Structure 1
């Protein structure tokens, strides 16, 4: 089994494999290369200089990358290089070109007719939706097209047949096609705009970094930093995947690019093959959590929450660090258990030499961060950083980027973007249906009812939904759909939990009392002194929904409310990653298993165990101010979270510095809970830390004695 044989997520498809295996004609390869360069140049122009209507740009974006997908990926494996395939693909190419021209030249005519469709409007808009379905089917199978068809038919057909809260009276097919094609709500709405601006520019930036040799520098830097640590090769995988993820934002790409080095390295050092593959899969999954790129999640999250991109990536840094540390703890424990003391001498790399040879790769990242902090837009910062990559490459004699290298990087960036582009455009159809019908609010109410108003059970339901969606949707699409559906419910529950704490502690601001005066004036005195939690819940339940948002703004403050919204989306984004490492569909684990030559499903189970941070950290986000807290609070939370997760790993594995007895495992579990459980007194956290340190020192002494 190979990584390419898996039903890989669209953004992780190796387009060069498709090009060499399915498109062997030289003239076609040259055309694809030229088109890729043209699309890269055109998008750079659009994002920096041009002032074109967004609808035109989105249509061009979809058509250009749709043509790339049509030419690179055959409609069916049996059709490759056949006349049927050439005819079918040629028809798609001309249809996509015609679609763009129609929008440019006939959009005004539609509005002149009072938005009444004529025959050509019907034909072009219908074909555009069908093209989206076909291109997504080629890149990711039938699940997403099937989801889109269900969503579209719900609006015009079967929604009126449903009873209860999901009943929808329906729209005409003409209205649906207008909203899907001509408006900025459907295919060419906000998701498409994010795709052709933020996402493309950062994928292009990543392609330039890789072309400049930054990937080799990241691996060498990781090896130099981890070479003298216990279980060094495992930490190379964790560090390398984390650093690579900050550039690529793709879990499968991280696995394939770093795993070919780290997995053999771990196996030679003495790690079991399945564990080595699991580490690489779990660490690479964290690549999409690592700022500044975070897949496409950071850009979409910024658009959904209306919080700046810089804020998103800054609050994401500590949770990402906690995740990688949690994987690292498993590595250290297994290294102790398997007696992996150090790496082989020929694998050691001197950090001074690595920095001497590759320090210039840090310059573009520094430029990027500086521009973002200074308030420049992400697209502008990415564009300038691309120029910085080219300029910095001339500080080295190995990877100087001349005109040929620059053109190659633009072509590769466009190819890397093609499947993501058609996917995001197609997902816009689903998002449009959700917003048009109000299904998002309905689904949020349903989750709240199922969970009985419990934040914990709501997170569990979201995790289950994300796992199910992740079996057919790539991470970005899964986050978009799930975020649209469940973020409001999660936001309300987190905000209400904080509001209830203020009511029970008597710290509610005076301005918020005006709302409660309308509900129960007699409760004002109790609010000032603090009331029992049950009474606070009953009082809050009496507040009409129309007044709750005003109450939250007055009680929590606009900044806190914004951070709660980011927290809700961040939790969903994190939980959307679990399909990468959770059987039965765990693409990252499958790719790692192909490299390690281990059973894919068993490797998936191992990766799922190692990626426990995907569930622990979101709970910390929900119940503590890990997102948006002040510096002192963040330091305290981070400190206890680090040791708490280490204690939990020891309890799970039955091994810390040495083998733990059943009694010692129970103590480690108790210590973990004392450090991770939210809202415990500081002295309880410190007691848990002291217990863990005693266990650690006893185990370390025993380990040295047995060596």
Structure 2
């Protein structure tokens, strides 16, 4: 029997079950009951079905698909999030009537684009009254639905961006002066072209983001979440600090599927936090571990949340390559959280315990091995070169087929429920990304991105570490009002060029120091800068190479870029740009666990029964890998180097994050004396030191080994 009654549809509200990273922004969802619940269910089914068909088998012009994406999800947002929370039943009915009208009006703007796009171009792209009305309504509705679901920040950014391009840009002096565009041109670009509402960000939303969110909903509906928790208990439950390691392992796997830190916390935290508390962990620490582990889900391959798809669009690096290069950094992060778990277990005097359910690995795999099949199908299709959207569509079918091997067989009703839940989860992110597309388009059109990049580069004074701090602050501020994916989408065009320039400068300096400058280029530079004649092309100290590059980089831009092209191979150039974006992507996650606005930590605190702000500070401490790994991206060949270089960085970084956790907690295999704690901090710095030589890293490893041996000896003596 299909879902023909409200009682058969899943969840109690718009945010029931899993949510995408829009969950990081507090919203007021409308309770869904009766006919409204049934309407939302079937609209969700249709919306998800349309996206799966068009992304997998069908075809439609990109502009029209993006507009249809906006219209369908706009209707869902209108029904899920009320105009305002009315208190009386009469007021609620009136608000619902307005919201239904606005949702239909959103579909109307899409219908207008479908019907009159050709006529608009036939009359030479001259706006008439109907064009103004349709474009204006589409823009206002996108801003309004973004406000309802994610707060005021996105509508304010959209309004500021458009008003800058149209009105107050010409009045701004200095580097941000912009001569301005007419309102008609901006509205045309916003509505009728693939640059604004229906531009590249919307295309990412209707393809990658929507498809993988729906895929995640299928996995959750099939029961894969329970299997992941059981697998985590089996793999880590018997180890010292097992319940905490279950949280790390399980939340990492679940987060990659759900793409949401808050939803991940609410789903796995209700299991892992009580487990940790019963094992003897302090409640605040248990909540902090769950928040930190859940945040890491969005940097965990193979899916990595929506940001990875936007990154592929920005960098032109294939999504599969981004996923492959993100494996080692993600492991470093989760090992850093796991190190805090183990060290705290020792500090609290906890002992290893068998999992409460007593299931063996063989039993868990026997009951749930089929849940791995859809993931295997997804990875295999991606590796074979199929598009991510096609791979996601086929993998949804694989989820259904795999479920037939379990007790939780997915029939027509379950498939419809998965479709409806996937669409409902994706609705807010879809509207958010459509609206963000206007901001990104203005940044590109006005050149603000390049200007801002030059400005923060100037503030940093050419120092990469200063620029990293500035980007971290900017990402934290943006993250207070935006989901992490939106924060990354806005910040990347502004900050990535500056990061890329300074990181490229580092490669160039190393090439100059090695004497790798071609003779022809060395002669050209010698003619332009006589004091460097005979210097280039010869090995020199790094400090001297930095002085030489400072002089060369002052030459005209075209010459400088040509200089860089000849000294750095194309693969390194591409990987350096990717590393710059990975830095921003990782730093964008910190708002989940960094006070004062850290809703992931607040959600974990609510489960653990701890105060929000102290829980936030605990999560911030445990999630320090979010800051360590971006430093490795910037200063080491963790992304840009060969596999051997990446493995070397990875190995020392794993030891370094363990020493880092020991320093923070004052404990390794036993509690540390004050001088041992300082020495452990020194070992962490040596192991993680940027541009550290092998000798420096080996020194750090040796020092850490001595400290662990002393700690073990003290533990053995009791």
TM-score, normalised relative to structure 2: 0.94
2:381 corresponds to 1:334: no
Matched residue, 2:396 = 386
2: CA distance between counterparts of 1:649 and 1:555? 39
1: CA distance between counterparts of 2:594 and 2:550? 40
What CA deviation, in whole Å up to 9, does each residue of 1:381-428 have, x standing for no partner? 1111111111111122x1111111111111111111100100000000
Matched residue, 1:66 = 74
2: CA distance between counterparts of 1:613 and 1:136? 31
Matched residue, 1:617 = 629
How do 1:427-442 and structure 2 match up within 5 A? 427-442=436-451
Match of 1:596 among 562, 585, 608: 608
Count the aligned residue pairs.
698
User: How has the CA–CA distance of structure 1 residues 9 and 345 changed in structure 2, closer, same or farther, with 3 Å as cutoff?
Assistant: closer
Match of 2:511 among 477, 502, 505: 502
Matched residue, 2:650 = 638
Displacement of 1:681: 2.5
What CA deviation, in whole Å up to 9, does each residue of 1:594-624 have, x standing for no partner? 1001000110000000111111110011001
Task: Check the 8 A contact 2:601/2:615 in 1, yes or no.
Answer: yes
Displacement of 1:510: 5.4
Task: Check the 8 A contact 1:519/1:542 in 2, yes or no.
Answer: no
What CA deviation, in whole Å up to 9, does each residue of 1:146-184 have, x standing for no partner? 121111111112222211001112111111111111110
User: How has the CA–CA distance of structure 1 residues 674 and 203 changed in structure 2, closer, same or farther, with 3 Å as cutoff?
Assistant: same
Displacement of 1:513: 4.3
2:692 corresponds to 1:680: yes
2:138 corresponds to 1:138: no
Task: Check the 8 A contact 1:148/1:427 in 2, yes or no.
Answer: yes
Task: Check the 8 A contact 1:232/1:343 in 2, yes or no.
Answer: yes
Q: CA RMSD, aligned part only?
A: 2.0
Task: Provide the secondary structure at the position in 2 that maps to 1:310.
Answer: helix
Displacement of 1:520: 3.4
**Structure 1, unpaired ranges of 5+:** none
2: CA distance between counterparts of 1:72 and 1:83? 14
Q: Which moved more, 1:48-57 or 1:215-224?
A: 48-57
Displacement of 1:528: 1.7
Matched residue, 2:683 = 671
Displacement of 1:140: 1.1
Matched residue, 1:468 = 477
1: CA distance between counterparts of 2:139 and 2:592? 29
1: CA distance between counterparts of 2:519 and 2:76? 60
User: How has the CA–CA distance of structure 1 residues 14 and 297 changed in structure 2, closer, same or farther, with 3 Å as cutoff?
Assistant: closer
Task: Provide the secondary structure at the position in 1 that maps to 2:295.
Answer: helix
Displacement of 1:357: 0.5
How do 1:23-34 and structure 2 match up within 5 A? 23-24=32-33, 26-34=34-42
TM-score, normalised relative to structure 1: 0.96
2:459 corresponds to 1:447: no
Match of 1:583 among 595, 598, 619: 595
How do 1:475-514 and structure 2 match up within 5 A? 475-508=484-517, 513=522
Task: Provide the secondary structure at the position in 2 that maps to 1:291.
Answer: coil
User: How has the CA–CA distance of structure 1 residues 182 and 248 changed in structure 2, closer, same or farther, with 3 Å as cutoff?
Assistant: same
Matched residue, 1:543 = 555
Matched residue, 1:107 = 117
Matched residue, 1:411 = 420
2: CA distance between counterparts of 1:488 and 1:413? 35
Displacement of 1:80: 7.5
Task: Provide the secondary structure at the position in 2 that maps to 1:22.
Answer: coil
1: CA distance between counterparts of 2:14 and 2:521? 57
User: How has the CA–CA distance of structure 1 residues 359 and 535 changed in structure 2, closer, same or farther, with 3 Å as cutoff?
Assistant: same
Task: Check the 8 A contact 2:479/2:487 in 1, yes or no.
Answer: yes
**Structure 2, unpaired ranges of 5+:** 1-12
Matched residue, 1:214 = 224
2: CA distance between counterparts of 1:382 and 1:628? 28
Q: Which moved more, 1:342-351 or 1:640-649?
A: 342-351
How do 1:139-218 and structure 2 match up within 5 A? 139-218=149-228
Matched residue, 1:40 = 48
Task: Provide the secondary structure at the position in 2 that maps to 1:185.
Answer: coil
1: CA distance between counterparts of 2:21 and 2:554? 47
Matched residue, 1:75 = 83
2: CA distance between counterparts of 1:547 and 1:80? 69
What CA deviation, in whole Å up to 9, does each residue of 1:490-531 have, x standing for no partner? 001100111111112223455764763664377363222123
